[in-house]
């Protein structure tokens, strides 16, 4: 279950009608900001048109592994062992597939052996996780932490941190598990963008620049650690503000241009993309209330 760390709501937040879902103010998420940077048209398809994207088995496996790691850290420290983690795989998948029955469609017509192979591939990622660290020696402050803040410019940032470790001295480490199938070198710049996004949010929420941003690549059992500094985060804040302004400008006119790159190979929308001979649907207008939403699949790339 995701936890939440947000600043107090400012007075201009819409009032929450009794018995109704709170109105979420427009915010930038790392996934959508990264989409816009990569290709404005991809951002439009995902955040404005909200076109469905069938998940891949690799994405589902990533969501499953994130869920298992969250459950693992809910166990008493001595129990956080590889075999115990593997025991969590099936119950976690049962729960995820009950919550999102459409995800099981990917396995329609497949026999149990194929599903077992896929679950086994999730167990391999967990083995890889244990080769990188010993969770019995860690006590994270939070897993799957929802974080949200507003910059002085009024730009609102929102996201989910896989894990937050806080040392007794107050030093913060932001940890992100990477389980995606894309080659690591393709995703690395995007991953670091995401980590700096979280660093800015946590710095603004807590007044402390995170000591370390740690990416754990479970597909190849490697990790990458980075130490940001305050001037860098200030510059990055300006980058995020510029991205948000560019999104709002494109949102008014509907002018979201394609930006073809080697990442198009992972795009589900080639058939609608002018760069591949397609035609986008008619622009539906700027969505209300929130074009910045992330799905659990975004968070488990």
Looking at the Cβ atoms of 44 and 299, the one nearer to ligand SF4 is: 44
Question: What torsion, rounded to 10 degrees, do the Cα atoms 182, 183, 185, 189 define?
Answer: 10
> Which contacts of 118-125 are long-range, i.e. CB under 8 A and separated by 24 or more positions?
118/57, 118/61, 119/89, 119/90, 119/93, 121/61, 122/61, 122/64, 122/65, 122/68, 122/89, 122/93, 123/86, 123/89, 125/61, 125/65, 125/179, 125/218, 125/219
- Angle at alpha carbon of residue 281, lines to 276 and 284, rounded to 5°: 140
Looking at the Cβ atoms of 142 and 273, the one nearer to ligand SF4 is: 273
Q: Residue 41 interacts with ligand SF4 (CB under 6 A)?
A: yes
Q: Residue 250 interacts with ligand SF4 (CB under 6 A)?
A: no
Q: Residue 258 interacts with ligand SF4 (CB under 6 A)?
A: yes
**48, 107, 247 from 34: Cα distances, Å:** 15, 30, 12
Least distance in angstroms from the C-beta of 283 to ligand SF4: 14
| Among residues 33, 89, 200, 267, the one that binds ligand SF4 under rule CB under 6 A | 267
Quick one: which of 264, 266, 265, 246 has its CA closest to 256? Answer: 246
**Count of positions on this chain that bind ligand SF4 (CB under 6 A):** 14
Alpha carbon of residue 273 to chain centroid: 24
Least distance in angstroms from the C-beta of 36 to ligand SF4: 11
Q: Residue 51 interacts with ligand SF4 (CB under 6 A)?
A: no
Looking at the Cβ atoms of 69 and 191, the one nearer to ligand SF4 is: 191
| Among residues 56, 259, 283, 287, the one that binds ligand SF4 under rule CB under 6 A | 259
Q: Residue 221 interacts with ligand SF4 (CB under 6 A)?
A: no
Q: Residue 119 interacts with ligand SF4 (CB under 6 A)?
A: no
Least distance in angstroms from the C-beta of 277 to ligand SF4: 11
Least distance in angstroms from the C-beta of 275 to ligand SF4: 4
Q: Residue 247 interacts with ligand SF4 (CB under 6 A)?
A: no
- Residue pair 240/28 in contact (Cβ under 8 Å)? The answer is yes
Residue 201, SS3?
helix
Which residues ranging from 11 to 40 are in contact with ligand SF4 (CB under 6 A)? 39
| Among residues 95, 270, 284, 285, the one that binds ligand SF4 under rule CB under 6 A | 270
**Residues at the site binding ligand SF4, with contacts judged by CB under 6 A:** 39, 41-42, 258-260, 263-264, 267, 269-270, 273, 275-276
């Amino acid at each position: 279950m995701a936890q939440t760390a947000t600043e107090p709501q400012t007075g201009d937040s819409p009032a929450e009608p009794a018995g109704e879902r709170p109105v979420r103010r427009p915010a930038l998420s790392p996934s959508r900001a990264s989409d816009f940077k990569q290709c404005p048209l991809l951002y439009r398809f995902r955040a404005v048109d909200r076109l469905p994207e069938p998940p891949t088995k690799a994405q589902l496996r990533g969501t499953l592994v994130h869920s298992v790691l969250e459950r693992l850290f809910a166990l008493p420290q001595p129990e956080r062992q590889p075999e115990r983690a593997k025991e969590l795989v099936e119950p976690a998948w049962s729960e995820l597939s009950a919550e999102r029955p459409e995800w099981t469609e990917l396995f329609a017509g497949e026999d149990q052996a194929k599903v077992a192979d896929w679950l086994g591939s999730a167990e391999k990622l967990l083995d890889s996780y244990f080769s990188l660290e010993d969770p019995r020696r860690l006590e994270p402050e939070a897993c799957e932490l929802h974080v949200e803040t507003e910059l002085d410019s009024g730009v609102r940032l929102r996201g989910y941190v896989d894990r937050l470790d806080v040392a007794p001295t107050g030093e913060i480490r932001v940890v992100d598990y990477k389980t995606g199938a894309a080659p690591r070198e393709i995703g690395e710049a995007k991953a670091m963008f995401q980590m700096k996004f979280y660093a800015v949010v946590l710095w603004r929420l807590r007044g402390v620049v995170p000591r370390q941003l740690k990416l754990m690549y479970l597909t190849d059992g490697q990790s990458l650690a980075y130490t940001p500094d305050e001037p860098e985060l200030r510059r990055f804040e300006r980058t995020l503000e510029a991205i948000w302004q560019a999104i709002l400008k494109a949102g008014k006119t509907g002018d979201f241009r394609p930006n073809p790159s080697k990442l198009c190979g992972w795009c589900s929308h080639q058939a609608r993309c002018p760069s591949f001979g397609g035609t986008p649907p008619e622009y539906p207008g700027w969505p209300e209330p929130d074009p910045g939403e992330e799905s659990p699949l975004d968070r488990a790339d």
